[in-house]
Amino acid sequence: MPQQDPFGPDTLPYGVFTTADAPEQRRIGVRYGERVLDAGAIATVRGSAHAELLVAPDLGPLLAAGRPVWQAVRAEVRDWISEEPFLLPLADVTLHLPFEVADYVDFYASEHHATNVGRIFRPDGDALTPNWKHLPIGYHGRAGTVVVTGTEVVRPSGQRKTPADDAPTFGPSRRLDIEAEVGFVVGTPSSAPVPLDGFRDHVFGVCLVNDWSARDLQAWEYVPLGPFLGKSFATSVSAWITPLDAFDDARTAPPERTHPLLPYLDDSAAEPAGLDIRIDVALNGEPLTSPPFSTMYWTAAQQLAHMTVNGATLRTGDLFASGTVSGPEEHQLGCLLELTKGKGPFLQDGDEVTITAWAPGPDGSRIGLGEVTGRIAPAAPAADTATDAGAP
């Protein structure tokens, strides 16, 4: 395997696959280069103490097992990873959503993104709301419409109203957008607030997220309670969940904090909790933008601390996403709304968006994140008389 392969022995992400000869039998796999290790099969043959977790049809039992087991299994997988009889060509397997998503939370943690969007959506007000530097803003999304990479995304329909319109109209979104994000998958449940230093005990791993957004629906509906139908139709995630332990060499200090933080969010004395993940977005195979995750103002540890500080508990399979990742430069903006300064063009039917990413690993290696891709399908026919003849 080439030394720069982002899916080498230091990455080892988990996923769920089936093969053509056993399409009903979901199996846990570990990606190694362009191949997949059948983790359940080798764990059984080798008599692993963790075989029960790896013959499961999804990652749920492994996620729930907790960090000491995650580390033990990762060490076993590292020993097994080049065992030829258990490696299948990646091209020969079908990948599935690797865990049952419990709750889905989406944050808004990029200062560049929040500033740019604030200027577009609220041109007469302050770009950042007064709370932005004091807490990681988020909302609860829709877990049931989180879909795995490769799933077609049907253009949503809904109410749209621009400032120039006298009244809202109903029809397919004309401003369908992407949001390049990084997602965090909760393994260990919680019954009490999770402090900043509890992050690694509860979060199993990292995935890529495309949080599709219908900007026209969103702009009309979002005041005062936030995103709803403009976001809930689909959220795509990568098929591979990369363990947090793979990112030890990617840890980096977040941007300097400009406002003092309340103690439960104050990470000034903590280990650096930012992650140097380099994201690339392609539209129909052409490079579109390269957002740097290292520029995110709020870290995932702060997000987890904030979302549990009120007593809200965590469940295995909870997914929280960073919010759109945008850097300070023109070629680092994480959505079309920002890239086109609100003017478009937005996504057309048939467009395909692919997000990839990597992070620095040990000894100059790269830690790859599984890609997340999706193609836009035309809007479904209107269910009632509220139709719209105009093409998006």
Give the residue, chosen from 211, 216, 318, 338, that forms a contact with Ca ion under the rule CB under 5 A. 211
Give the residue, chosen from 179, 276, 318, 338, that forms a contact with Ca ion under the rule CB under 5 A. 179
Shortest distance, position 87 Cβ to Ca ion, whole Å:
36
Q: Per-residue DSSP letters for 65-116?
A: T-HHHHHHHHHHHHHHTT-GGGEEEGGGEEEE--S----EEEE---HHHHHH
Q: Can you tell me which residue has the tokens 């936030």? A: 226
Is the Cα torsion angle 233, 239, 244, 248 positive or negative in sign? Answer: negative
Q: Which stretch binds Ca ion (CB under 5 A): 61-69, 153-161, 205-213, 268-276?
A: 205-213
The contacts of residue 47 (CB under 8 Å, 6+ apart) are: none
Percent helix / strand / coil, the chain, rounded to 5: 25, 30, 45
Q: Does 267 bind Ca ion (CB under 5 A)?
A: no
Q: Which stretch binds Ca ion (CB under 5 A): 103-111, 141-149, 200-208, 241-249?
A: 103-111
Shortest distance, position 303 Cβ to Ca ion, whole Å:
13
Q: Measured from the CB atom, is 76 or 106 closer to Ca ion?
A: 106
Size of the site for Ca ion (CB under 5 A): 3
Q: Measured from the CB atom, is 108 or 220 closer to Ca ion?
A: 108
Q: Which stretch binds Ca ion (CB under 5 A): 17-25, 98-106, 149-157, 330-338?
A: 98-106
The contacts of residue 143 (CB under 8 Å, 6+ apart) are: 101, 102, 103, 104, 319
Shortest distance, position 251 Cβ to Ca ion, whole Å:
24
Give the residue, chosen from 38, 58, 103, 106, that forms a contact with Ca ion under the rule CB under 5 A. 106
- Cα distance between residue 71 and residue 179, in whole Å: 32
Shortest distance, position 175 Cβ to Ca ion, whole Å:
15
List active site positions: 113
Tell which positions 245-264 bind Ca ion, by CB under 5 A.
none
**Cβ contact 327:277 at 8 Å:** no
Find the Cα–Cα–Cα–Cα dihedral 366, 98, 295, 269, rounded to 10°: -90
Q: Measured from the CB atom, is 41 or 147 closer to Ca ion?
A: 147
Q: Measured from the CB atom, is 58 or 106 closer to Ca ion?
A: 106
- Contact residues for Ca ion (CB under 5 A)? 106, 179, 211
